[in-house]
Structure 1
Amino acid sequence: MKILAASLKYVYDLGWSQQAISAGAESIGYPGIIHGLFPNRGADLVHYFYLTCNKELNKILEEQALAVEQSPTKKKKTLELQVRDAVETRLRMVIPYKKTWPQALALMALPPNVPLSLANLLTLVDDICYYAGDKSVDMNWYTRRIVLAGIYKTTELYMLQDNSEDHRKTWNFLERRIKDATQVHTILTTTSDMALPDLNRATETASAVFVTARNILGLNWNR
């Protein structure tokens, strides 16, 4: 992992590539040929970056949740605002690599890399929802996470084309998508007449999907 960490600074010029890994290895005293330890080449580097950013966000959200618990009189953010801030925080981690990020997205869209890419995304949105207070496993639990995954990806793509100062247009876009999703969710949950057996099967499927995602990444499911 030290090699991949050292390789990130070379992504700016060399992209998410075997060459970046070789340069990173050499910068900390390893022979460049050691890139052979990473058979998926650039995809391994993208996965490392994504996993590292997810862990960093998880740490931030955990610290924020703990601070709220320790200050019960402090005004708490709404769920929507917590989600918005978390998504913005996570996307800001991509901004330094924005120039080469389309290459990273293309790599992770290749069939062999899709399971890891999807697992990273599902784990990300589950962590955001969990620390925003959405912990009960029901149909709404599932729906919110899938919708949030869509919001994250569309905002990520919007950001790549955004040249506004501090990506202000991106954060406005994100806020609008969350408001739209909240309105749609309210309509669906107040008009749904789904039969209970179907609801039970749906929630079981939801749990299986997110457990599988964490298993792929080698993470514990401790919800």
Structure 2
Amino acid sequence: MTKTAITSDKAKLLDAILPHVAFDGWSPAAFKMAVSDVGIPDAEAKASCPRGAVDLAIAFHQQGDAAMVAGLMATDMSELRFRDKVATAIRLRLSAVDDKEAVRRGTTLFAMPHMAADGAKLIWGTADAIWNALGDTSRDVNWYSKRMTLSAVYASVVLYWLGDDSLDGQATDAFIDRRIDDVMKFEKVKAQVNASPLLKPFTGSLGKILSGVRAPAGSVPDDLPGVWKDPQ
């Protein structure tokens, strides 16, 4: 999924708005104060962030994704099981946040009905970044199912983490492991269903239908769903 680069002005505004977000959220008031703090003309600020604080909230999230990917690239995970690699990625994503209140306020912002699509897209982008960093090569329906599942896991982890006051986040660590355990159990059941002779007539037909699903190509915009191709 393609991410828009954070311009110099946007980066300055993002740094400037964070102290205000704790009190005013990702709001027009906080954006106005950030513009004043940075000292750039309103027109330039509007050009960098047409939606004001919303654009900065999105940039804040994407900045965290980039830090997570950099952390994954610098971590030796050759001895880890795949499930532990995913858990490591989620933990790195959380550790990339140095302003928990900004995430809390962002969660409130993107929970609003008119912002829900943006919020879902950001969570999907995090899941996509994790799978890409871990070397996922799927291009069929699995491309979607992997990201859908991980999006649900990550979203639940963030909500749990926001309320976690345990020592060194131990409760969140345990919660991550439990959520990944749940996913692994689901994948095991799914494999058993697909292998069942009794259910093969149904799963076979469904598999034929889903075989036409393709992941977005590199030139396709980052909106969803991807593209559909007729089964061969």
TM-score (norm 1): 0.76
1:153 aligns with 2:138: no
In the alignment, what sits opposite 2:68? 57
User: Structure 1 residues 215 and 141, CA, compared in 2 at 3 Å: closer, same or farther?
Assistant: closer
Distance 1:172 1:144, change over 3 A: same
1:180 shift after superposition = 1.4
Residues matched between the structures, number: 204
Shift in Å, 1:208 = 4.2
Partner of 2:7: none
Structure 1 CA distance, aligned partners of 2:156 and 2:220? 24
Between the aligned partners of 1:45 and 1:51, the Cα distance in structure 2 is 10
In the alignment, structure 1 residue 47 sits paired with structure 2 residue 63 = no
Name the counterpart of 1:183.
185
What letter is aligned with 1:91?
Answer: L
Partner residue of 2:23? 13
| Residues 54 and 213 (structure 1), Cα distance of their counterparts in 2 relative to 1, 3 Å cut | farther
Equivalent residues in 2 for 1:128-167, closer than 5 Å:
128-167=130-169
Residue identity matched to 1:88: R
**Identity, % of aligned pairs?**
25
1:214 corresponds to: 222
Once residues 186 and 127 of structure 2 are traced to their aligned partners in structure 1, the CA distance between those partners, rounded to angstroms, is 18
Aligned equivalents of 1:210, 1:160: Cα separation in 2: 35
Tell me, yes or no, if the aligned pair for 1:11 and 1:97 is still in contact at 8 Å. Answer: no
1:7 and 1:24 in contact (8 A); partners too:
yes
Distance in structure 2 (CA, Å) of the matches to 1:36 and 1:100: 21
**1:139-171 CA-partner distances (Å, limit 9, x unpaired):** 444322211111101111111211111221011
Supply the RMSD in Å over aligned alpha carbons.
2.9
Aligned to 2:3: none
Structure 1 residue 125 corresponds to structure 2 residue 133: no
Partner residue in 2 for 1:72: none
Residues 111-143 of structure 1, C-alpha deviation per residue, up to 9 Å, x if partnerless? 443333222221211221222233222444432
Alpha-carbon distance change, 210 to 172 in structure 1, aligned in 2, over 3 angstroms: farther
Task: For residue 200 of structure 1, report the CA deviation from its aligned partner.
Answer: 0.7
Structure 1 counterpart of 2:103, from 98, 101, 104: 101
| Structure 1: unaligned runs, 5 residues or longer | 69-74, 217-223
* Structure 2: unaligned runs, 5 residues or longer: 1-9, 195-199, 225-232
TM-score (norm 2): 0.74
- Residues 183-204 of structure 1, C-alpha deviations (whole Å, 9 max, x = no match): 2112202322422422313x32
Change (3 A) 1:79 1:145: same
Aligned to 1:219: none
